[in-house]
């Protein structure tokens, strides 16, 4: 039998890299709910306080529970999702994290027009200026992350994309997001695009950090937030990764000698 000697230098370099690579699937949050589930002619609902609770199970499945302090549960509870996404970062299994809302005014689920049996097509906005359906200049929606998952070394929430709808009839309308590190993703919304999805790559949150959805500064027109997708992962610190790599190398050496 021919024995092939492993390239230990390559093994030592490869193991830490493999261990450091997070594998996760997108976690989806949608505010596109039915605001008239009981057939009432009512299509706006606000709440004094609002948060999104995400629980990560023992196999990495992420469930979502939306908690609104006031307003109609039949509407806000539709945001719940028993299988919102997954993460393959084992260190995050059986932990949880929360995105807590804060904004220029109370959180608002809205549809245009405000009243009427509108059905699905809702967005998240704020109670504020002349148009309560969307974010206008100076208005914002902020989500701050906290929870046991954020205490895991290397925790990161990375935005993939976010969606908008109900763009104001304004050629200069815009929509964007900014994180605590002042990374910004924003774009103008053309008249031909009442709704759409924007790439959120570059927006990343650690423990206690936040992402704020808003219009471009000084831009009067805006849109409502339909939802967003993100990944959560935990990348080991370099020192921990190196230690795990050395452990793997020693195991290979023992196996070879045996």
In this prediction, residues 160-167 reach a mean pLDDT of: 90
Q: Which residues are paired to 159 by β-bridges?
A: 230
pLDDT in tens, 79-94: 999 999 999 999 999 9
Contact (CB, 8 A) for 114 and 43: yes
Find the domain containing 95 and state its range.
24-237
Q: Is 10 exposed, middle or buried (0-12, 13-18, 19+ CB in 10 A)?
A: exposed
pTM of the model: 0.81
Q: Which residue has the higher pLDDT, 193 or 101?
A: 101
With respect to residue 247, please indicate whether it lies within any of the assigned structural domains. Answer: no
Residue 49 lies in a domain: yes
pLDDT digits (tens, 9 = 90+) for 23-81: 457 999 999 887 765 555 556 788 989 999 999 999 999 999 999 998 878 889 999 99
Query: Does any domain span residue 11?
Result: no
pLDDT per position as a tens digit, 166-222: 777 655 688 999 999 999 999 988 777 778 899 999 999 999 999 999 988 877 778
Number of domains present in the structure of the chain: 1
Tell me, yes or no, whether 5 lies in a domain: no
What pLDDT, on the 0 to 100 scale, is given for residue 42? 56
Instruction: Dump the DSSP string for 31-78.
Output: ----S-TT--S--EEEES-EEEEEEE-TTSEEEEEEEESSS-HHHHGG
| Residue 100, domain member (yes or no) | yes
- 4 in a structural domain: no
Give me the mean pLDDT over the 113-121 stretch.
49
| Per-residue CA distances from 75 to 40, 46, 124, 224 (Å) | 12, 10, 12, 17
Domain membership flag for residue 13: no
> Is residue 19 pLDDT above 60, yes or no?
no
Identify whether 222 is part of a domain. Answer: yes
Greater model confidence, 104 or 180: 180
């Amino acid at each position: 039998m021919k024995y092939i000697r492993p390239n230990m230098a390559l093994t030592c370099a490869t193991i830490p890299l493999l261990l450091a690579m997070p594998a996760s699937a997108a976690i989806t949050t949608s505010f596109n709910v039915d605001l008239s589930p009981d057939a009432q002619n009512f299509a706006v609902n606000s709440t004094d306080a609002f948060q999104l609770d995400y629980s990560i199970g023992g196999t990495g499945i992420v469930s979502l529970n939306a908690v609104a302090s006031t307003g109609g549960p039949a509407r806000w509870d539709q945001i719940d999702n028993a299988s919102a996404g997954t993460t393959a970062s084992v260190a995050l299994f059986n932990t949880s994290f929360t995105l807590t809302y804060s904004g220029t005014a109370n959180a608002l689920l809205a549809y245009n027009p405000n009243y009427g049996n509108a059905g699905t097509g809702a967005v998240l906005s704020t109670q504020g200026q002349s148009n309560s359906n969307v974010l206008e200049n100076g208005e914002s929606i902020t989500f701050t992350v906290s929870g046991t998952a954020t205490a895991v070394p290397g925790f990161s929430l990375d935005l993939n994309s976010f969606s908008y709808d109900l763009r104001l009839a304004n050629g200069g309308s815009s929509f964007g997001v900014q994180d605590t590190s002042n990374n910004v993703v924003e774009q103008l919304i053309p008249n031909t695009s009442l709704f759409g999805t924007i790439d959120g790559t570059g927006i990343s949150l650690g423990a206690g950090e936040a992402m704020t959805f808003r219009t471009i500064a000084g831009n009067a027109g805006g849109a409502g937030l339909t939802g967003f997708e993100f990944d959560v992962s935990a990348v080991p610190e370099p020192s921990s990764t190196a230690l795990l790599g050395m452990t793997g190398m020693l195991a290979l050496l023992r196996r070879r000698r045996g």
